Chains A and B, each alone.
Chain A
Amino acid sequence: MIEKFREWYENRHEYQKGYKDRTGNKIVGYFCTYTPEEIFYAADILPVRILGSHEPQDVTEPHIFSMFCPFCRDVLAQGIKGRYDYLDGIAIGQSCLHLRQAFTSWDLHKNPGWSYFLPMPNHVQSKRAVPFLVEEYRLLIKKIEELAGRRITDDDLRQGIDIMNKARQVMKEIYEFRKEDNPPISGTEAMYMTCAQFFTDAREFLPVAEDVKRELASRRLDRDPGKRIMLVGSENDDIEYINMIETLGERESVGCTVVVEEHCTTTRYFWDEVDTNIDDPLRAIAERYVSRTPCPSKDWPQRTRLQRILELAKDFRVDGAIVIQQKFCDPHEADIPFIRKFLEDNGIPTYFLEFDVTVAAGPFAIRTEAFLETLEAEEDLF
């Protein structure tokens, strides 16, 4: 069943077009994980996250100045190239300026007839954020109702919460297997899984994930797991890179397994659930998005990510962390020196890699291998 995730990842457009034909439901593409999917599900609209295709930039130069991150340009390229012409709408929850440009350029040049910018509060540590966000959700709901052609009730919202929470729960249960000494799921497979959730209806994702969970209970991977690695940083669905480092052990003296990540494609996206004990579903959703592990663009004045990263590192017993950053990603760039110091002060060696949408496979493999060797050397020494 685990292969299904890869199929969904690689054939996202086929799935989504087929989904529309099968269900007659509308699809809205969203650009950032601060978009509340629960509310779209409540309206029977499928929210799908738009990721890039890891191809060299060739169409976005007139639209986004090249000092902005390659990911946001790759995302925009998907729209300009007409790969998402089947969408009924686009939406973004306010986060970084980079991705916002992909949204606004898409809005200018490929607007499917419905678009929405949600002013998700930046000051998520303020007690004023939740009441503000609840009111913003009310405006969003009015706009979604226009697209859906029907009212959204509290029961619909609870249904949306239930759909998303169940998917989050099963993901976390699957992640538990990654804590094992020899994890039965590789980092590559896990990344296919987490990203597949962006591209599919969570109600169709869920039974497959449940099957995978059962399968993992008895699955054994015929490989040496090597060093246990954590990936930390900005948007990353660079499966080629993960696969490359996880197969290093087949070619070199050192190998590794990615056992956990802190990215907006992985744990920052799904780790936190909506609290169903809160009566008002809109408030419950707002609480979830305000209190989730933040994108660094919202992680101030306290740098709360540090503790979450450390908890994950300890729970998954990592030997080292590779700090990954999309080139030009300012919010992460501002955090990186402090994250590295914090992890290293807590006994977790780190290595920094700056990514573009296309991976320089050779040099990145050598650099990662060198980092893994330093982890070996420490063991020899002590």
Chain B
Amino acid sequence: MAKYTTEPLRCWAKAKELRKRFYEDFKGAHEKGGIRCVGSAWALDAVTMGLGRDVYWVTGEPYGASCAFDRPLSADFLAAAENFGFSRDLCSYMRNYWGSIIVNKSAFGGAFPKADFAYTQHICCSHGKWYQNACELEAGDVPLYVIDVGVGAYPPFQPEMYEHRLRYVADQILDSIEWMEKITGRTYNDELFFEACWNDIRVTHIWAKICMLNRTVPAPLDEKSIYSLYVFATLQKSRGQFAEFYEELLEEVEDRVKRGIAAVANEQARVMTDTQPPWGFLKIYRYLETCGVVSIGSLYTFGLEGMWLYDEEKNDLRPRPMPPEKPRSREEACMMLADWHLSKPQYQHFYHPEYKTKMMDAIAKNWRCDGIILHYNRGCEGLSVGIAENRLGLLQRGNKVLTYEGNMGDETEFDLPATETRFDIFLESLGLKKPEG
């Protein structure tokens, strides 16, 4: 029986439209005289926007997830990558992406649109290699620029963010501007860069504020819906339309909280998850809901793009305040972007699992979770790194933890019935039972 009132999100249709247009823009970029750019979801896309408002993006991770959602299509892409000689245990987003190039087919229909250049960042060992290989597969004539952001953890996990670490990242950004001018023949417009930089900061800040609202009981958002919403920050953080959409979404979620609107009408227990889900099997979230469980989110959905700061004393995560004002010079914009992004919660565990364990425990306690479900994700080494230590650390901090194995983008590595059975056992340990029939 429903405990709470629920209703669909009003902005849902707009979200679908925005996403559709985003991919269409990329595909049709050349018809409008525009530029196609590809890179990681963590790429500093704002920097490319100084080339003009007609730079259109596709980011590899959400693209890979979209492939994975269509399991037969994904199977073709994965097979093509394997036939080329790539190992089956490599990042499954990456294999779907490479497979798309090899078979020249896009998950959004038609041929795979060739990029004019690739612009990405590197913190996971696969990031640089992903686009190095993608550019080579595209006949070797797609120029590539990679910014190394692996400079160490952000405070409070390190005593300070040393100047030279920020400078290293900022200088690479500066160098990339010259590089882009050279390869595109365009003159760089700093004003457009500042605007895009500010959009990036707005998007990643507002997203954190939206996630904060999910501390409410009942949760106004469930994680399956969150996946469709957080994606805009992964598609292109610097896109003004997405900043505006997040402002609308924030208002709507605030309104849901005020009116007590629940994402799951039968919310009896709250869990959080970790890492990307097996995209072809999102129904596992609906399965949890039938038992009265809402997944309120994860460090992954909150902090993959959302910007937060961890408060060690209070064991809490809070949205990182925006800088007081927009950047006014190219150098300032580069430093601001570097400093903003190096504090990204999902960057921190690359240096030590303990940092992630602390942030996850903060979510578990402050978002009032009854349990934690960790996806041991064979598809992503970057977000699975340290996950076994996260499990141990969360258990030591008194959390109930379930693990299941799977793969975000390769259906052959996910066992649905076995996972549901594990969920059943875990839910019983939380005092919940699947309704009969």
Contact = CB atoms under 8 A, between A and B. Distances in A.
Interface of A: 61-65, 67-68, 94-98, 100-101, 104-105, 107-108, 117, 119, 121-123, 126-129, 131-132, 135-136, 139, 296-298, 300-301, 303, 325, 327-328, 330-331, 333-338, 340, 354
A68 B353 contact: no
- The list of the 3 closest CB pairs from A to B, nearest first, reads A337-B85, A123-B148, A300-B128
Interface in B192-246: none
Contacts of A330: 89-91, 125-126, 129, 381
19 contacts: A61-B388, A62-B391, A63-B389, A64-B388, A65-B376, A68-B385, A95-B125, A97-B382, A104-B352, A105-B353, A119-B150, A128-B168, A128-B171, A128-B175, A129-B168, A325-B87, A334-B129, A337-B85, A338-B133
Given A122-B122, A128-B172, A300-B132, A328 B144 contact: no
B340 interface: no
B136 interface: yes
A306 to B, nearest CB: 11
A68 B381 contact: yes
A117 B351 contact: yes
Contact of A122 (B85, B128, B384): B128
B90 A333 contact: yes
Interface of B: 84-87, 89-91, 122-126, 128-133, 135-136, 144-148, 150-152, 162, 164-165, 167-168, 171-172, 175, 350-354, 376, 378, 381-382, 384-389, 391-392
A321 to B, nearest CB: 15
Given A65-B384, A126-B172, A335-B129, A301 B146 contact: yes
Contact of B89 (A122, A298, A333): A333
A62 B388 contact: yes
Contacts of A122: 122-123, 128, 148, 150
Given A301-B146, A333-B90, A100 B385 contact: yes
Contacts of B133: 334, 338
Nearest to A331: B125
A63 B390 CA distance: 9
Nearest to A120: B150
Nearest to B171: A128
Contacts of A139: 162
A338 B136 contact: yes
Contacts of B130: 334
Contacts of B84: 337
A96 B391 CA distance: 22
A138 to B, nearest CB: 9
A119 B148 CA distance: 11
Given A126-B175, A334-B126, A336-B85, A65 B388 contact: yes
Nearest to A301: B144
Given A119-B165, A334-B86, A334-B133, A67 B381 contact: yes
Of A98, A119, A126, A336, chain B has the most CB atoms within 10 Å of the CB of A119
Given A62-B391, A108-B354, A122-B148, 16 more contacts: A61-B388, A63-B392, A100-B350, A101-B386, A104-B386, A107-B352, A117-B152, A126-B175, A135-B164, A297-B128, A300-B144, A300-B146, A330-B89, A334-B126, A336-B87, A354-B87
A352 to B, nearest CB: 8
Contacts of A128: 168, 171-172, 175
Contacts of A121: 148, 150-151, 168
Contacts of B122: 122-123, 300
B125 A297 contact: yes
A340 B87 CA distance: 14
A301 B128 contact: yes
Contact of A327 (B89, B131, B168, B172): B89
Contacts of B131: 301
Given A65-B384, A119-B152, A327-B89, A97 B389 contact: no
B87 to A, nearest CB: 4
A297 B135 CA distance: 17
B150 A67 contact: no
B39 to A, nearest CB: 12
Nearest to A325: B87
B132 A303 contact: yes
Contacts of B144: 300-301
A135 B353 CA distance: 25
Nearest to A127: B175
Contacts of A65: 376, 384, 387-388
B128 A94 contact: no
A47 to B, nearest CB: 21
B353 A104 contact: yes
A42 B370 CA distance: 52
A139 B165 CA distance: 12
Of B90, B128, B131, B133, chain A has the most CB atoms within 10 Å of the CB of B128
